[in-house]
Amino acid sequence: MKDPNLMRKETLDIADVLPHIRFTPKELSATSFPEALVMIAGDPINMTSLKLQTFKENGTRCRICGCKGQYFAKEKYAGEPYFHLNLYALKEGREVLMTKDHIIPLDKGGRDRLNNFQTLCMECNRKKGNRTADKVKKNKLKKKSGAKDQKPRP
């Protein structure tokens, strides 16, 4: 279930990645904060992402179905300057991306803070409903006046 546009360089053991994750109050930008970058198996990677912090703090297991992250993959999209690390579980041989999920959705007052994130696999996250994405869509609709019957632009 890897995003087909992602280029994968290699996979890494979880035990080799977790010690390098840094707890910071906010995710630091790799371009503005070079100190956020850590050399991971030869590539500079931003180790302050809230997603990585969530995996370190809450573990690599999905809180709903219990599937366990098995490995990190060093991946990036074409044109991105740095690789990032995605965590994957295997469910019946399928690769499933692990995500950070807002326990209290943003539109219900939840915040982008580590204590409001839990580890969920992509499948459970989708079933739970991606409320942050819904919120983005609603806001787009509100901005257009009389846009009741129009679909938001892609």
DSSP assignment of 97-143, as one string?
EEEEEESS-GGGT--SSGGGEEEEEHHHHHHH--HHHHHHHHHHHHH
Q: Measure the CA–CA gap between 122 and 139, rounded to whole angstroms.
A: 24
Asked if 120 and 98 touch (Cβ cutoff 8 Å), the reply is yes
Smallest gap from Cβ 96 to Zn ion, in A, equals 7
| 36 or 97: CB nearest Zn ion | 97
Residue closer to Zn ion by CB (options 75, 123) is 123
Nearer to Zn ion, 65 or 106 (CB): 65
Minimum CB separation of residue 65 from Zn ion in Å reads 3
Q: Which residues of this chain interact with Zn ion, rule CB under 5 A?
A: 62, 64-65, 121, 124
Query: Residue 139 Cβ, how far from Zn ion at the closest point, in Å?
Result: 28
